[in-house]
Amino acid sequence: MARVIHEFDPVERFVAGTVGEPGERSFFLQARTGLRVVSVLLEKAQVLAMAERLNLLMKELTKIEPRIASALISTPINLDDQPLEAPIMEEFRVGVIGLAWVSDRELVQIDLQAMTDESQETDEVFSDDDDTLDVLRVFLSVSQTRTFVSRALALVASGRPPCPFCGLALDPRGHVCPRANGYRR
C-alpha cells in the first residue's frame, strides 16, 4: 500500500486534545485547514516531549532571529480552548516525530510518522524516500507554535495529580505506591 502524506501547508489549526477521563485519556493531535481535518493518536509523553522541544526551539530562535524575538514579545499568546473537532477518526498512531525550522519561510515543520513494530525499537528519523508509512506534515507560524505549546503543556498538566510521595499519578481510588512498599495511598 502506498504511503499517504497528509500535508497542511498552511495549517489553520493544529492542536493537542484528549478524549476520556483523566487516567483513561487518549491523546490526539489534530490538523485542520478548511473542511479537511486529520487526527492522529499518540502518547501523553510524546505530547509533552514535543511541546518542550518546540518551546526550546522558540527560545533558541529568539536568540538568533531578532525579528522573531520582537514578534514574540509584541504578540500575545492566542489561547485555543476549543474541543477537538468531531468526529475524531484516528488516521494512525504516531511513532516518530520530526521537528524542523524552515528558515526561508520562517515556519516550523512538524512531521508525524505512523508507528510500526520497528519504530518502537528504533529512534531513526524517516526520510521522504520511504514509501511505506503514512505521515502527517504541518507547517506552523511562530505564533501558531506558541499557541500549540501553551495548550499542549496545559493539557498534559491537567491530568491526575501526582502522588506527593512517589510522583506517580494518583488514581481517584488511590494507588499502590512503590515508595511505601506497596501500601495504598
Give the model confidence (pLDDT) of 43-59 as tens digits.
999 999 999 999 999 99
CATH 1.20.1250 fits 5-180, yes or no: no
User: Average of pLDDT values for 28-44?
Assistant: 97
pTM of this structure: 0.83
**What is the full DSSP assignment across 68-107?**
HHHHHHHSPPPP--PPPPSS--EEEEEEEEEEEEETTTTE
Cα Rg of the chain (Å, integer): 18
Q: Which residues pair with 18 in a beta bridge?
A: 27
- Hey, where are the domains in the chain? 5-180
Distance CA 160, CA 117 (A): 30
- Residue tagged 508507528 (cell numbers): 115
Q: Is the pLDDT of residue 74 over 80?
A: no
